[in-house]
Amino acid sequence: GIQVEQSPPDLILQEGANSTLRCNFSDSVNNLQWFHQNPWGQLINLFYIPSGTKQNGRLSATTVATERYSLLYISSSQTTDSGVYFCAVAIFPGTASKLTFGTGTRLQVTL
């Protein structure tokens, strides 16, 4: 099956710092989503981004499908950004909403 690797696995930042999270995948995809999992386990949809670049406030994401990677940028990090970030992909061809999750990046933002 498809392999989805995220880096770094763990990241500690001081508040206000910027960071880049990476998601590499091993096969062609027709969907890529980024999620933030909060301490209660809830998955927050950040981006639906099978290709291209999107921005939402302090967050932005870029997916280069032909090179099989996606990046999530967090600028001016806040303590509320702490949690685990997952990318998830759907294999092409196939059901775009049937996701394989990456290994995750655990982010801790300190004061």
Considering the complex, state which of residue 14 and residue 40 has its C-beta at the smaller distance from other proteins: 40
Residues in 48-87 that interact with other proteins by CB under 8 A = 48, 86
Q: Which stretch binds other proteins (CB under 8 A): 13-21, 57-65, 73-81, 101-109?
A: 101-109
Q: What is the 3-state secondary structure (H, E, C) of 1-22?
A: CCCEEEECCEEEEECCCCEEEE
Q: Which stretch binds other proteins (CB under 8 A): 18-26, 30-38, 61-69, 74-82?
A: 30-38
d(CA 42, CA 25): 24
Contacts of 70 (CB under 8 A, 6+ apart): 22, 23, 25, 32, 34, 49, 61, 62, 63, 64, 87
- If one asks whether residue 34 binds other proteins (CB under 8 A), the answer comes out as no
Phi, psi (5° rounding) for residue 14? -85, 150
Considering the complex, state which of residue 25 and residue 35 has its C-beta at the smaller distance from other proteins: 35
SS3 98: coil
d(CA 61, CA 31): 14
State in angstroms the smallest separation of the CB of 58 from other proteins: 21
- If one asks whether residue 17 binds other proteins (CB under 8 A), the answer comes out as no
- If one asks whether residue 93 binds other proteins (CB under 8 A), the answer comes out as no
Residues binding other proteins (CB under 8 A): 31, 33, 35, 40-43, 45, 48, 86, 88, 95-104
